[in-house]
Amino acid sequence: MVATHGIESGNWQESPTLAGTMEFGKLPDIEKIDFTLPPDPYQNKLVLQDLGAADSPTIYLGPTGYHMKPWVGKWYPPGTKEANFLKHYGEQFNTLEHNTTH
């Protein structure tokens, strides 16, 4: 059974694969889920064929924050003061997550 059956009709209860079996973000068993994607519409080919090859993406990695006291002596030099955490973080990472939602 395709996992989207029931979603397409607007009724989750029609899908025996999903109905009543899913905790938020969890499935007890994914063995019976068909993750096959439908074929791309022909229009996609028309649009994408003129784009050419994509360049390799630039990937930036960094932790979720910089104000981490346990990093002193490990990531930050021994004896680093809290006021200098961001400075030393910036010397090692080229990105910083700015999340003010929590």
| 6 pLDDT more than 50 | no
What mean pLDDT value characterizes the chain? 79
Residue (of 72, 73, 76, 78) closest to 93 by Cα position: 76
**What is the residue extent of each domain of the chain?**
1-40, 59-102
Give the pLDDT confidence score for residue 100 in this predicted structure: 63
Instruction: Give the residue among 98, 97, 101, 100 at the shortest CA–CA distance from 63.
Output: 97
pLDDT tens profile 48-97: 888 878 788 888 888 888 899 999 999 999 999 999 999 999 998 888 87
Amino acid letter, 17: T
